[in-house]
Amino acid sequence: MQVVRKPVLAMMVFALLMATSGVTTSAHAAPLSPGGSLQITFPAPAGNSHLAADATFTLFSLNSTTAVLDILINNNSSGDTGFTDRLIAFGFLATPTPTSATFTQFVAGTDAFNHAGLDSIPSFNGMENVCTWVGNNCSAGNTGLTAGQHDEFRITLSGSFDSTVDFSNFAIKWTDCTGCSFEIGGTIDAPRVPEPASLLLLGVGSLGLAAIGWQKRRNAKAWLHAR
């Protein structure tokens, strides 16, 4: 009687779990259609564990020439003694490349961010093409969104757009904090959609499990006939 060994079954189950697991990633551009949102987390830099922030990034509206973005930024820092932990800039890469970016509207919270343009946070130069900021420019400012505050606002991108716009390389800039300044990239919090190779692995694993079940039933029938 042919026997399928347990290690083979264990390997197939492991493959299935790997193919369907979730992952947090910001390595690839995230396409948004109107009304679509991204949740972005900015981890504390190695030099200051007090700092923390997140953002909700929504494509509020879109047509062939303009894309309106609704951006909610939360400064979740616990606060350094003697510092304000100011968050002064928020940048990202938009594809297709916009021809202009302008501040449109304050929505709620602290009215801190009030400028936008085709710029980038210095450490991400060449990797971003849109920035919004609170002070003089995307590189510097003496005001900001301080610890415990949030700001929701809208900016408008002009360009030539289709039904979606891709966004990636989100980053923020901190000042007035221990070890400052810091320029930190964020991660997009989203479940991973299995890539074609993973879907193939999932299919192979499913077929393998089905084959094991068929073989067990065949062996059971053969044993009954032999009695």
* E strand segments, 110-164: 115-117, 130-133, 150-158
- Tokens (6 digits) for 123: 């450490």
193 inside domain: no
**Separation of CA 200 from chain center:** 26
209 inside domain: no
Query: What does each of the 227 residues of the chain score in pLDDT, given as a tens digit?
Result: 444 444 444 434 333 333 333 333 345 789 999 999 999 999 999 989 999 999 999 999 999 999 999 999 999 998 788 899 999 999 999 999 999 999 999 999 999 999 999 999 999 999 999 999 998 899 887 889 999 999 999 999 999 999 999 999 999 999 999 998 899 999 998 633 444 444 444 444 444 545 555 555 655 555 445 55
C-alpha to C-alpha distance for 25 and 56, rounded to whole angstroms = 16
17 inside domain: no
Q: What is the pLDDT of residue 193?
A: 40
pTM over 0.85: no
Counting the structural domains of the chain, the total is 1
- CATH number for 86: 2.60.40.1170
Instruction: Count CB atoms within 10 A of the CB of residue 51.
Output: 27
Q: Is there a contact between 124 and 102 (Cβ–Cβ < 8 Å)?
A: no
Q: What is the pLDDT of residue 188?
A: 94
Cis amide leading into 31 (omega within 30) = no
Distances in whole angstroms, Cα of residue 18 to Cα of each of 10, 188, 202: 12, 20, 9
Domain containing 138: what range?
30-188
Q: What is the pLDDT of residue 37?
A: 96
222 inside domain: no
Q: Is there a contact between 119 and 137 (Cβ–Cβ < 8 Å)?
A: yes
C-alpha to C-alpha distance for 189 and 194, rounded to whole angstroms = 16
199 inside domain: no
Instruction: Count CB atoms within 10 A of the CB of residue 81.
Output: 6
Q: Is there a contact between 17 and 146 (Cβ–Cβ < 8 Å)?
A: no
Is 73 in a helix, a strand, or coil? strand
2 inside domain: no
36 inside domain: yes
